Amino acid sequence: HFGVLPGEAMDAGAAATGSDRAGDAGIDVRFIDSSLVVTRVERGTPAYSSGIRAGWIVEEIDTMRVIESLRATSRINASARRFALVRLTLNLNGRLTGPAGGSIRIVLRDASDMRREIRVPLRATPGQVVEYGALPPMNVRFQSVRLTSSSGCIGITRFNIFITPVMPQSEDAMAGMKTCAGIVLDLRGNVGGLGAMIMGISGHYFARPETLGTMRLRDATMRYVANPIRVSRAGQPLAPYEGHVAIVVDELSASTTEILAAALQRLGRARVFGSPSAGQALPALLSKLPNGDRLMYVIADFAGPDGARIEGAGVIPDEQAPLSRRSLLEGHDQALESATRWIESKRFHQRGPG
């Protein structure tokens, strides 16, 4: 979070923004082995209806060639390159959005490496539109599902940003998952948000207050504490969740997401799966220099419950499950599958083979 980043790398792939950018194709992309790969396609979206599937390689978005954008990061040192790749990946995901009702041109390589040029319509982006501070309007999305099996259920929750509308949805989802053997917090692609929210969200998993970490600014110190939630939104008594907790992260899990994942991991309350997080846990500002480069600098320091820092290193999963194009093409989500297998195995060992 501190360094000078070349302007060409920071601007590569960046799309214009505006209040009319309320549409998307329904896909996510990440870099795998220097290729931009489709990692998720939501069913029922324009991308899915167009035949696009996870594991396909994206070569062009409209008139922009991905390889040229990636090349802009190749001349940066390793530390700064990691930060630039996070920004570039976010920019390229942003390129796959636009005004609802419009369309984007995408050139891809399918499972057989055959070149496909597809013009994909853009749906209205789902979620609640929220405005916060000087940030542009954001579509806040929260999803929760229960996977059922002969041994019980596993709850899975996903949300894309830590912001106030997530809190009531999270509490309602938890109320419906109290009997599940385990809960998976899928925080891949969640770039953070309001840091104080981790105190409420983590409160579902502890019976007594626990220190999550300390944020130190020049003139203030904030201590994050997990506050046990004793009462539901409906006013009913609420006991802490005692089942197993898994967290899934990736290279776009940043800031508040990293603080929450690291705290629950280091307190022994959660097991982390996926790939190392962004390593950008500290609040930082980005200033444009006269030559177009960017100076990135932090404005606070954060240490977790054990005094260790996340900045730079990121959250290291207990069980790494990096993305591979092959597994995506085969329809597998290795990180999520690893998390659910772990929960099932813990339940099995508790109950015994009989």
pLDDT tens, residue by residue, 100-146: 999 999 999 999 999 999 999 999 999 888 876 545 677 899 999 99
Q: Provide the pLDDT for residue 354.
A: 31
Reported as half-sphere exposure (CB side, CA atoms, 13 A), residue 294 has a value of: 20
263: tokens are: 């705290």
- What secondary structure does DSSP assign to 1-51, as a single string? --EEE-HHHHHTTPPP--TT--EE-SEEEEEETTEEEEEEE-TTSHHHHTT
- 354 residues of the chain, pLDDT tens digit each: 566 766 665 665 544 444 456 799 999 999 998 899 999 999 999 999 999 999 999 999 998 899 888 887 776 666 677 777 888 898 899 889 999 999 999 999 999 999 999 999 999 999 888 876 545 677 899 999 999 866 679 999 999 999 989 999 999 999 889 889 999 999 999 999 888 999 999 999 999 999 999 999 888 898 999 989 888 888 888 889 999 999 999 999 999 999 999 999 999 999 999 999 998 888 777 788 888 877 877 788 888 888 888 888 899 999 999 999 999 999 999 999 999 999 998 865 554 333
Amino acid 125 reads T
pLDDT tens track for 228-266: 988 888 888 888 999 999 999 999 999 999 999 999 999
DSSP assignments along 211-231, one per residue:
EEEEEEESS-EEEEEE----B
Q: Find the angle CA(263)-CA(267)-CA(156) to the nearest 5 degrees.
A: 65
